[in-house]
Chain A
Amino acid sequence: MGVQATASRQLRRRLLHRYSVVVAVATFVLLIAGALVTSNDAGLAVPDWPLSYGSLFPPMHGGIVYEHGHRMIAGLVGLLTMGLAVVFWKWERRLWVRGLAVAAFGLIVIQAVLGGITVLFYLPAWVSTAHATVGQLFFCTVVSLVMFTGDWWQSESTQLEPQTVAPIRGLAWSAVAAIFVQLVLGAAFRHRAFSLIPHLVCAFVVTGVVSAAGATAWIRLGHYPVVKTAALRLLLLLGGQLTLGGFAYWAVQFQQQAPQPLPLPVTITVAHVVTGALTLAAALWLALCIERLRQPGTVLVSAVPALQVQGRHSA
């Protein structure tokens, strides 16, 4: 009976994890779709909301492809997230993780409302910027759920000394904050709330902080494979994002002379936006790894009754 219950819990845990991964991937696709709307200047190709030309399925041509396509993917992500909140509430034992799943649903509702406001009020710059920002926050929330439902988070039993991990922890979370601010400034530029200069200046800050965080994590905690991988991923994404940033700058200048959005500049700017999202997620992943290593945890309940531990802590 105990073995069956354990197996059932393990199955549910894996399902929650896989469901979280599916939502994370769908959200990434949605980020691409959203970036395509802005880069193709199709934000108002569908002037009504929540329907599109009074229908769920309008004729798809020109900019309508991007705008309505974005809405359709957003609808799918919304439904997936609603399901996510339900199954987490039902199956997840940790109350704080359940709460995070519900928060994800709340964020997607806010995101939908912001999307509607941008359309109905002709893309006010700050609303469009908020819409872009909440999208990133939602992506981070779902990525966090992927982490928290993974085997490593739930089985890792290491507990590092606070003085060992404190400086790295501070750097890691600073990297998350810096990248987030940079994303907001980038969104503000794309939606004409700010000039490009704040985003360019912040790029230097981000480069410094993220490089320090990744390098320090690699050096101090690189003997933990999960940290080493997370640090390497973050540093590679940072390099890629800086490169794309240079190309995006050229793309914006070139695009200004063109009568319409051109494929190459659109591709570059969209890649820059979504790589920014991945970089933020990678920084968050590293920070969460370090958090996990400084916290005691519950050993993963296995099929072997002798290894069952009734958790004093629920990480």
Chain B
Amino acid sequence: MKRTAAHLLMAGAVSLLLTGCGKKEAEKPAEQPAAPAPAVNPETAGVITGKVTLSGTPPKMMIIRMGAEPACEKEHKQPVHAEDVVVGNDSALENVVVYIKSGLGNYSYPAPSEPAKLDQVGCMYVPHVVALMAGQQLEVLNSDPVTHNIHPLPKDNREWNESQPPNSSPIIKEFTRPELSIPVKCNIHPWMKAYICVFNHPYFAVTGTDGTFTIKNVPPGTYTVAAWQEKYGTQETQVTVSAKETKTVNFTFKAE
């Protein structure tokens, strides 16, 4: 009996040791700015706009089988396809995150009070890509008649995994650090996939069905503007925005 108890204690100690390997690092406290940064002057701010397209033959997205969840399967009258690459009319590429990667000055960018939203409809995440600011609230909703579990897989933020029954209150979360492309999955419904992109500034946009994007209130300057797509990666270009100027930037990804 003593030996068995010792073995159990040892197992507990080993377990505690191993948990240290699996734990995410504790988040560092947000850095405090040395002095209040000025706000962007709307009198001189410009706009970056454009369109993202896909050249070549779009890949065929596989059909998602929802047989494991009949309540969601009956929500869809048409077959549901994976959303890795969504191409609309005129080769418009949807769900591309366009953002200013570098060149921004020392301006104050308070996180919006309005939360970004991620819903679950017909056992699919809506929208497929969400972009928000560090410190901005993310409101996760469940509009389905079934329980989901929402599991983001960040590298630089705290990982969490929560279940959400139908008709329950929204789950409110924040990401404290900028991080491009945090995958989100539902372990109950493995086909459900989304991405969360977190920025420390407000200069980002996600393309819609027409592939267009608009980034407003951009202070005059020269910037590196990047476009990220989950399958095709990132493209970058240099853009110079003058006072009150609307600059058009287009991106074209190439189908493999």
Do the beta carbons of A102 and B19 come within 8 Å of each other?
A: no
Contact yes or no, A259 B188, CB < 8 A: no
- A40 interfacial by beta-carbon distance below 8 Å: yes
Tell me if B4 is interfacial: C-beta within 8 Å of chain A.
Answer: yes
A-contacting residues, B11-57, CB 8 Å: 11-12, 15, 18-19, 21-23
Q: A127 with B190: in contact, given A61-B146, A109-B11, A259-B62 (CB under 8 Å)?
A: no
A44 touches B151 (CB 8 A): yes
Number of interface residues of B (CB under 8 A): 35
> Interface stretch among B108-116, B158-166, B220-228, B239-247?
B158-166
User: Residue on B with the closest CB to A111?
Assistant: B11
**A181 is an interface residue with CB less than 8 A from chain B:** no
Please tell me if the beta carbons of A63 and B188 are within 8 angstroms of each other in the complex. yes
Asked if A110 is at the interface (CB within 8 A of a chain B CB), the reply is yes
A53 CA to B164 CA, complexed, in Å: 10
A258 interfacial contact with B, CB 8 Å:
yes
- Determine the distance from Cα of A244 to Cα of B161 in the docked complex, in whole angstroms: 34
Q: Is B21 touching A122 in the complex (CB atoms < 8 A)?
A: no
Evaluate contact between B22 and A127: CB separation under 8 angstroms: yes
Q: How far is the CA of A102 from the CA of B6 in the complex (A)?
A: 13
**Bound CA span A58–B147, Å:** 11
Mask of B187-224 contacts with A, CB within 8 angstroms, 1/0: 11111010000000000000000000000000000000
Please pick, from A53, A102, A124, A126, the residue contacting B163 in the complex, using a CB distance under 8 A: A53
Main secondary structure of the interface of A (DSSP, over half): loop
Contact of B190 with A41 in the complex, beta carbons under 8 Å? yes
User: What is the CA–CA distance of A107 and B146 in the complex, to the nearest angstrom?
Assistant: 37
Tell me whether A260 and B21 are in contact in the complex, defined as CB-CB below 8 angstroms, given that A47-B163, A61-B146, A62-B68 are known contacts.
no
Interface residues of A in 150-206 (CB under 8 A from B): none
**Option from A42, A43, A59 in Cβ contact (under 8 Å) with B147:** A59
Instruction: Determine the distance from Cα of A45 to Cα of B187 in the docked complex, in whole angstroms.
Output: 4
* A117–B82 CB distance below 8 A: no
Complex contact B19–A117 (CB within 8 A)? yes
A126 to B146, alpha carbons, bound, how many Å?
A: 32
Asked if A83 lies at the interface with its beta carbon under 8 angstroms from chain B, I say no
Given contacts A44-B149, A106-B7, A117-B19, contact A260 B187 (CB under 8 A): no
Q: Does B8 interact with chain A (Cβ within 8 Å)? A: yes
Q: Identify the closest chain B residue to A257 (Cβ).
A: B62
B-facing residues in A61-109 (Cβ within 8 Å): 61-65, 67, 102, 105-106, 109
How far, in Å, is A106 (CB) from chain B's closest CB? 5
The reply to whether the CB of B65 lies closer than 8 angstroms to some CB of chain A is yes
Out of B4, B7, B82, B146, name the residue touching A259 (CB < 8 Å).
Answer: B82
Chain B residue numbers with a CB within 8 Å of A113 are: 11-12, 15
Give the number of chain A interface residues (Cβ < 8 Å): 36
**Per a CB cutoff under 8 Å, which of B4, B161, B191 touches A106?**
B4
Question: How far is the CB of B11 from the nearest CB of chain A, in Å?
Answer: 4
Say yes or no: is B236 at the interface (Cβ < 8 Å to chain A): no
B255 within 8 A of A: no
Which of A106, A121, A261 is B23 in contact with, Cβ under 8 Å?
Answer: A121
Distance to closest chain B CB from A68 (angstroms): 11
- Asked if A114 lies at the interface with its beta carbon under 8 angstroms from chain B, I say yes
Smallest beta-carbon distance B220→chain A, Å: 43
Does A215 touch B at the CB level, under 8 Å?
no
Which residues of A are found within 8 Å of B61, using beta-carbon distances?
A: 259
Complex interface residues of chain A between 102 and 138 (CB less than 8 A to chain B): 102, 105-106, 109-110, 113-114, 117, 121-127, 130
CB closest chain-B residue, reference A44? B187
Check B69 for interface membership: any CB of A closer than 8 A.
yes
B11: chain A residues at CB < 8 Å are 106, 109-110, 113
Q: B172 in the interface, Cβ–Cβ < 8 Å?
A: no
Assuming the contacts A122-B161, A124-B18, asked whether A61 and B188 have C-beta atoms less than 8 A apart, the reply is: yes
Chain A positions 16-67 with a Cβ under 8 Å from a chain B Cβ = 40-45, 47, 53, 59, 61-65, 67
A157 CA / B1 CA spacing, docked (Å): 34
CA of A42 to CA of B149, assembled, Å:
11
Is A106 a contact partner of B65 (Cβ separation < 8 A)? no
The answer to whether A42 and B190 touch across the interface, beta carbons within 8 angstroms, is yes
Whether the Cβ atoms of B161 and A121 lie closer than 8 Å is no
**Shortest beta-carbon distance, A11 to chain B, in Å?**
28
Shortest B43–chain A CB gap in Å is 48
User: Does A259 contact B64, Cβ atoms closer than 8 Å?
Assistant: yes
A123 to chain B, nearest CB (A): 8
The answer to whether A122 touches B163 (Cβ under 8 A) is no
- Which single member of A45, A61, A122, A125 contacts B159 (CB below 8 Å)? A122
**Nearest chain-B residue to A53 (Cβ)?**
B163
In the complex formed, the residue of A with least CB distance to B191 is A260
Q: In the complex, what residues of B have CB within 8 A of residue A61's CB? A: 68-69, 71, 146-147, 188
A62 surroundings in chain B (CB, below 8 A)? 68-69, 146, 188-190
7 intermolecular pairs with C-beta atoms under 8 Å apart: A63-B190, A106-B7, A121-B23, A122-B22, A122-B151, A124-B18, A127-B19
Since A40-B190, A47-B162 are in contact, a sample of 4 more A-B pairs with Cβ atoms closer than 8 Å, ordered by chain A residue number, is A62-B68, A63-B190, A259-B61, A259-B84
List the 5 closest A-B pairs by CB distance, nearest first.
A124-B22, A259-B82, A260-B191, A62-B188, A44-B187
